[in-house]
Amino acid sequence: MIIEFISKNPEMTKKTGTLFSKMLGRFEVALLSGELGAGKTTFIAGAASGLGIKENISSPSFAIFNVYTTRNKRKFIHADLYRLDSIDEIINTGIEDYFYDNKSIVFIEWGTKLMLWDYFKMDSVEIEFSYLNDTKRMIIFKSSSRRWDKKLEKFKAVLKKCRYLE
Ligand SMILES: Nc1ncnc2c1ncn2[C@@H]1O[C@H](COP(=O)(O)OP(=O)(O)O)[C@@H](O)[C@H]1O
Ligand SMILES: [Mg+2]
């Protein structure tokens, strides 16, 4: 299942992140890709706000990942693998622990780097961002499991309802 979507401004990207957060289960991994400035952090800030996180979300480039607490007392991990090149470096950050603890929601910028890792078998969703012009971004949601197919089907209906999609 694929949803191709055009965001017309940063607020729309943020709101889309908030709407997307309502689709999430208790434990999820989302892999975000796209060049710098494509809108990944903006989307994640919207998702965090939808989960009741009050802090400002900024890129955790130096920390690699930041941990927040959602309104349901779940962990929300915002990671950015931009500066990491090898799977060994990524694993050494300790982020892997959050994939398997069954209580975390993990959003990873440059997360598709993980797909090079043979052991990465999470039921994750991919979100690809691309720059169209100053204010427009293309956002593509891709699922590769029945469970995420169903969620994206629902999400598509939500986007249509608020007239974000035709
Ligand atoms: N439609 C849009 N969606 C998201 N960001 C946008 C959009 N139009 C302009 N922008 C700007 O682009 C930048 C996106 O930055 P950010 O979300 O940090 O990107 P990334 O995390 O992918 O590097 C912000 O300065 C934002 O204001
Ligand atoms: Mg970012």
Instruction: Give residue 121's pLDDT.
Output: 78
Which ligand has the minimum distance to the alpha carbon of residue 36?
1
Decide: 61 in ligand 1 pocket, CB within 6 A.
Answer: no
Q: Within its chain, how far is the Cα of 22 from the centroid?
A: 13
At CB < 8 A and 24+ separation, what contacts does 58-62 make? 59/109
Q: Which atom of ligand 1 is nearest to the CA of 44?
A: 17
Query: Quick check: CB of 39 below 6 Å from ligand 1?
Result: yes
Predicted confidence (pLDDT) per residue in 121-144, tens digit = 789 999 999 999 999 999 999 998
Which residue CA neighbors atom 8 of ligand 1 most closely?
135
pLDDT over 70 for what percent of the chain?
99
114: pLDDT confidence band, cut at 50, 70 and 90? confident
Q: Report whether residue 137 contacts ligand 1, using a CB cutoff of 6 Å.
A: yes
**How far, in Å, from the CA of 39 to the mean position of ligand 1?**
4
Domains and CATH numbers, the chain: 2-161 (3.40.50.300)
Q: What is the pLDDT of residues 12-27, one digit of tens each?
A: 999 999 999 999 999 9
Q: Tens digit of pLDDT for each residue in 43-74?
A: 999 999 999 999 999 887 677 999 999 999 99
What does the pLDDT read at residue 12? 98
Q: Closest residue (by CA) to atom 25 of ligand 1?
A: 37
Q: Nearest bound ligand to CA 43?
A: 1
pLDDT-derived band of residue 118, with 50, 70 and 90 as boundaries? confident
Ligand 2 mean position, distance from CA 37 (Å): 7
How far is Cα 39 from Cα 154, in angstroms, rounded to an integer? 23
Contacts of 11 (CB under 8 A, 6+ apart): none
Query: Ligand 2 being an ion, which residues bring their Cβ within 5 A of it?
Result: 40-41, 59, 109
**CA angle at 72 for the pair 43 and 24, rounded to the nearest 5°:** 45
Q: Taking residues 138-155, report their average pLDDT.
A: 97
| Predicted model pTM | 0.96
Looking at the predicted structure, is the pLDDT value of residue 99 above 80?
Answer: yes
Average pLDDT over every residue of 162-166: 93
